[in-house]
């Protein structure tokens, strides 16, 4: 019974992160009202430069603050062990998100999920920045009506990811030619 409680708390933490991932990206990253905030500025730079990511030290400071602050209400509401398990689930999945997002930009996707995650994210980058805000899951895009199923994704040549570009031809690698093209988006 105790173990089930802990597993449910971890799952709730993971689910909470996926909602935060969506909300932070959609509103802090793309709403004009938040464009001048530190997150808004970093996120716009990520879109403009393609291979730019906010410094890890900034992320670690924010993560440490969230870790401490979130533990207080979580343990008060759910009890010490489930509260810590909830925050651990949330923070660990935040780490998964950071890893996955970076890999999407730096490496070709492995398996159906890896390929889906890239197409979902690069549709957001290069086709319509008002859609596909989720990075690890389409769940909240579906819930909030911002999900779009990617078709062919046109990637501007100067923002093309190294894993997508064939240096021999200067075009997208043959393995991705059915789903990605070089060209001006929209």
**Residue among 29 and 150 whose Cβ is closer to Zn ion:** 29
Chain residue at closest Cβ approach to Zn ion: 29
Q: How far is the CB of 141 from Zn ion (least distance, A)?
A: 12
Residues lying near Zn ion in the complex (CB under 5 A) are found at: 29
Q: How far is the CB of 23 from Zn ion (least distance, A)?
A: 13
Helical (H) or strand (E) element with 172: strand 171-172
Helical (H) or strand (E) element with 155: strand 153-155
Our measurement of the distance from residue 53's CA atom to the centroid of its chain's CA atoms, rounded to an integer in Å, reads: 12
**Residue among 5 and 163 whose Cβ is closer to Zn ion:** 163
Residue 107's region, left for phi above 0, alpha for psi from -120 to 50, else beta, is beta
**Residue among 10 and 118 whose Cβ is closer to Zn ion:** 118
CA distance 151 to 149: 7
**Residue among 29 and 82 whose Cβ is closer to Zn ion:** 29
Q: For the chain, where are the alpha helices, taking DSSP H only? A: 2-23, 30, 38-49, 56-78, 80-106, 111-126, 139-144
Our measurement of the distance from residue 86's CA atom to the centroid of its chain's CA atoms, rounded to an integer in Å, reads: 20
CA distance 186 to 123: 11
Q: How far is the CB of 104 from Zn ion (least distance, A)?
A: 6
**Residue among 84 and 135 whose Cβ is closer to Zn ion:** 135
Could you tell me the two tokens for 9? 């708390």
Q: How far is the CB of 83 from Zn ion (least distance, A)?
A: 32
Q: How far is the CB of 47 from Zn ion (least distance, A)?
A: 6
């Amino acid at each position: 019974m105790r173990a089930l409680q802990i597993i449910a708390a971890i799952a709730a933490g993971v689910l909470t992160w996926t909602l935060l991932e969506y909300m932070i990206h959609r509103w802090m990253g793309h709403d004009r009202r938040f464009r001048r905030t530190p997150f808004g500025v970093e996120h716009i730079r990520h879109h403009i430069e393609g291979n730019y990511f906010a410094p890890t030290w900034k992320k670690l400071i924010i993560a440490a603050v969230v870790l401490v602050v979130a533990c207080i209400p979580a343990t008060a509401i759910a009890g010490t062990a489930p509260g810590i398990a909830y925050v651990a689930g949330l923070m660990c999945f935040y780490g998964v998100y950071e890893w996955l997002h970076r890999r999407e930009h730096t490496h070709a996707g492995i398996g159906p999920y890896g390929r889906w995650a890239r197409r979902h994210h690069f549709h957001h980058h290069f086709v319509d920045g008002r859609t596909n805000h989720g990075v690890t899951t389409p769940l909240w895009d579906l819930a909030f009506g911002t999900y779009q199923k990617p078709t062919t994704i046109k990637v501007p040549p100067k923002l093309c990811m190294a894993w997508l570009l064939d240096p021999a031809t200067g075009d997208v690698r043959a393995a991705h030619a059915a789903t990605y093209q070089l060209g001006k988006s929209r």
